[in-house]
Amino acid sequence: MRVGVCVPCRDEVHTGFAFDFARMAAHDASVRCKDGKGGLSLYTMPGTLIFDQREKLAEVAFKEGCDAVLFIDSDMRFPHDIISIMLSREVPIVGVNATTRRKPVTPTAKMLRKYMDGETLVHEWSNIDSRGKEGIEAVTAVGFGAVMIRREVFEKTGRPWFDAGWGASGVCGEDVYFCVKAGSEGFQTYVDHELSMHIRHIGTYEYGWKDFEQLEE
């Protein structure tokens, strides 16, 4: 199976991401692809419109014969065998439950619950906690920090695959938009709880005197 690794970014990527990306590509080439049954294609696209970047990256990857795409954002840390792990799950859409990179830190995998409150249809999103869990779990949506999607999902889901806008409960990002749209076509999204424990989201922090700890003499 040929996997297209798609990286939307801006002008630069983080050093930690670049290190993990190199280890991932080397591992995949030496383990999964050595028997001639696998393959790896690498794609990146700088820009600021994330939904447009994802749309074009997927388009190019499938045009060049990829069987699945692995989106990895350029501010993520991840294990070298992430491709083999995700492929082993054998589901159309599987992602990690990365945490946000700003406080308050929250999970990015979500479940949508719909219910009637009188005559009003309520859309209630809840965060998924991956701590202490094993295997994969069906969810409504995952953040696209690291997510693998099989070709058939794109083939059977009409374009645009990615978009952003206002939903019933507020702003809807391109990742949630995709998962919900794919779900309407019968493709379930899963979160990998075990893999999520090995994922980090690179953020920024402004250090000041409040962070200073006097060393004991």
Query: Is pLDDT of 46 > 80?
Result: yes
Res. 135 pLDDT band, cuts 50 70 90: very high
Tokens of residue 49, six digits: 């419109």
* pLDDT of 172 above 70: yes
Task: Give the CA distances from residue 8 to residues 52, 136, 141, 153, in Å, rounded to whole numbers and listed in that order.
Answer: 9, 25, 19, 20
Q: What is the pTM of this model?
A: 0.90
Structure tokens at 24: 């991932």
Closest residue by Cα to residue 148 from 56, 83, 80, 58? 83
Q: How far is residue 147's CA from residue 61's CA, in Å, rounded to a whole number?
A: 15
Q: For 15-45, how does the pLDDT look when each residue is reduced to its tens digit (9 = 90+)?
A: 999 999 999 999 998 888 776 667 899 999 9
How do strand 2-9 and strand 68-72 relate by DSSP bridges? parallel
In percent, how much of the chain has pLDDT > 70? 94
pLDDT given for residue 166 in this prediction:
72
Q: DSSP string spanning 56-95?
A: HHHHHHHHTT-SEEEEE-TTEE--TTHHHHHHHT--SEEE
pLDDT tens by residue, 86-126: 999 999 999 999 999 988 889 999 998 877 778 777 778 89
**Integer Cα distance of 168 and 7 in angstroms:** 29
* Residue 86, phi-psi category: left (phi > 0), alpha (psi -120 to 50), beta (remainder): alpha
Report which DSSP code applies to 207: -
Residue 214 pLDDT > 60: no
CA-nearest of 179, 124, 172 to 147 is 179
